[in-house]
Every structure is written in structure tokens, then in C-alpha cells.
Amino acid sequence: MIKNILNLKSVTILKKETQQSISGGLYNCNVARKCFSDIECCSGVCGVEKIILGKPVIISVCAM
């Protein structure tokens, strides 16, 4: 089974320009982006907790 998982014959590495155009890899990781799940964020964390008017509020942006 491990042999099948590590079979990378059909994997294509994207050029840097292509990665940038789709915001893939680590490009665009230094900006707050709207997100719906952790998988959308470079940091792996969607949702930032802020204190607004004394109450904790979770904002749907990628944590940096």
C-alpha cells in the first residue's frame, strides 16, 4: 500500500508563475484571506479570534 501512495509518476510540478496565478504553495500567504475551512489557509488555521467591545468574535480569515 505504501508503494502505491508514493507512486508519483503522473504528478506534474507547477511552474512558479502557475503557482502564483492560483495562489498555490506559499504565495499570497502574508495577506489576510477570507476562508471557509483550514485547508484553504497556508497556516492551516481558518478563523482568527478578536475581542470586539469586550466580546470574543471569530473572523473568517486565514491566521498568519
Mean pLDDT over 15-42 rounds to 76
Quote the number of domains for the chain: 1
Q: What is the mean pLDDT of the chain?
A: 78
Question: Can you tell me the mean pLDDT for 38-48?
Answer: 84
- What mean pLDDT do residues 19-44 have? 76
Reduce the DSSP state of residue 7 to 3 states and report it. Answer: coil
Taking residues 40-55, report their average pLDDT: 86
- Dihedral sign for Cα atoms in the order 18, 19, 20, 24: positive
Output DSSP code: residue 40: G
Looking at residue 56, what DSSP letter applies?
E
- For the cut 70, the answer to whether the pLDDT of residue 55 exceeds it is yes
Strands (E), 1-64: 46-52, 55-62
53's grid cell? 467591545
Domain with 25 in it: 2-62
Give the distance, in angstroms, between the CA of residue 19 and the centroid of all CA atoms in the same chain.
Answer: 13
